[in-house]
Amino acid sequence: MLIAGPNLTIDRTSRLPALRPGEVLRLQDVAVTPGGKGLNVARAARALGVPAALVAFVPGHTGHAAAELIGDEGVDLRGVAVSGEIRSTSVILEPGRATVLNEPGPPLGDGDWAALEAAIGAAWAEHGVLVCSGSLPPASPADGYGRLVTLARDAGRTSLVDAGGATLRLALAAGPDVVTPNLAEAEGVEESVDALPDAPARAVAAGRELRRLGARAAVVTAAEAGAAVVTADGAWWIAAPRVEAVANPIGAGDVLAAGLASGLEAGLDVVAAACRGVAAAAAGVQAPLAGDLDVGLMEGLLAQVRPTAAG
């Protein structure tokens, strides 16, 4: 798969017994790793044994250093050099809760987005699915992912968009093959709604609305509850398998996107591919590094995943 994850970051992941705003707190530990939703998708694809390339902007000296770290992981990064310096993301893990502070990243200059599109176009021959993942840097075209969806269609490739807000809305106008927002993103709300009792029904309704707005298929995730799938043939709910422990919930949606995209590249239909994605996400939350997963564990969980028709 080919992954457009333009807005790389440096993740600083820390643990605390409790986050108390307004106080001076001492972190238990800090792990510093390159990050970003697109990189998480690439990590998961690598764990799944699926050939993947990540196309992303590489800002300044710190971006160059992050690119070297990404290469050390074995991820195929097709970096597009831009000015500025790479953004940072603070991830604070408490028992049962994660807080994420995202910086926007440096603004793009003239010609930067065109260079990203050219890098994607140069890699079509090797990949059948384009995954557009994460936020867009400042000064990107507002319809950036919509433009990539059109490029994918013109090249005879399948497009998958995992984004929210205006980025998702403008991508829908281009008719992506699949969109994979979480429920809050699909409904356009700020607060988490995944744990609510009516999340499955709301996810199905949101998926239908996403199709009405232009997506050919929608997979709307609801965290540990599961995911709704809506296609031209109907709607399904996929309950997530129960897992014993959660090492790091960050990146679960990215792992799901990778599992889904890998299934599509293997010729599965959207429902079967989404089942693979849900199992992958359940395995991914048990890995300490965002985007990583144990494939053996995923395969065991996949045996428990069954879609049920939704009304």
How many other β-carbons are positioned within 10 Å of the β-carbon of residue 262?
A: 25
What is the pLDDT, as a whole number, of residue 298?
92
Residue 294: C-alpha distances to residues 159, 185, 233, 284, 300 (Å): 26, 28, 32, 7, 10
Residue 97 to residue 246: CA distance in whole angstroms: 10
> CB neighbours of 163 closer than 8 A, spacing ≥ 6?
132, 133, 134, 135, 145, 171, 181, 185
104: left (phi > 0), else alpha (psi -120 to 50), else beta?
Answer: alpha
How many other β-carbons are positioned within 10 Å of the β-carbon of residue 49?
A: 9
Domains of the chain listed by start with CATH number: 2-309 (3.40.1190.20)
What is the pLDDT, as a whole number, of residue 95?
86
Mean pLDDT lowest among 53-62, 113-122, 288-297, 298-307: 288-297
Side chain identity, residue 96: G
What is the pLDDT, as a whole number, of residue 191?
65
The token duo for 268 is: 């599965």
What is the pLDDT, as a whole number, of residue 126?
82
Closest CA to 156 of 121, 183, 110: 121
What would the pLDDT profile of 277-293 be if each residue is shown by its tens digit? 999 999 988 887 778 88
Q: What is the pTM of this model?
A: 0.92
What would the pLDDT profile of 49-74 be if each residue is shown by its tens digit? 999 999 999 999 999 999 999 999 99
Sign of CA dihedral 37, 224, 256, 231: negative
pLDDT confidence band for 29 (50 / 70 / 90): confident
Mean pLDDT lowest among 14-18, 194-198, 270-274: 194-198
Higher-confidence residue: 197 or 136? 136
Residue 13 to residue 31: CA distance in whole angstroms: 5
Residue 216: C-alpha distances to residues 127, 178, 201, 230, 232 (Å): 20, 6, 20, 9, 7
The token duo for 227 is: 């995911």
What is the pLDDT, as a whole number, of residue 198?
87
30-35 and 218-221 beta bridge pairing: unpaired
The token duo for 24 is: 């001076």
What is the pLDDT, as a whole number, of residue 228?
97
Helices (H), 73-154: 112-121, 144-154
**Helix (H) and strand (E) counts in the chain:** 10, 14
What is the pLDDT, as a whole number, of residue 188?
84
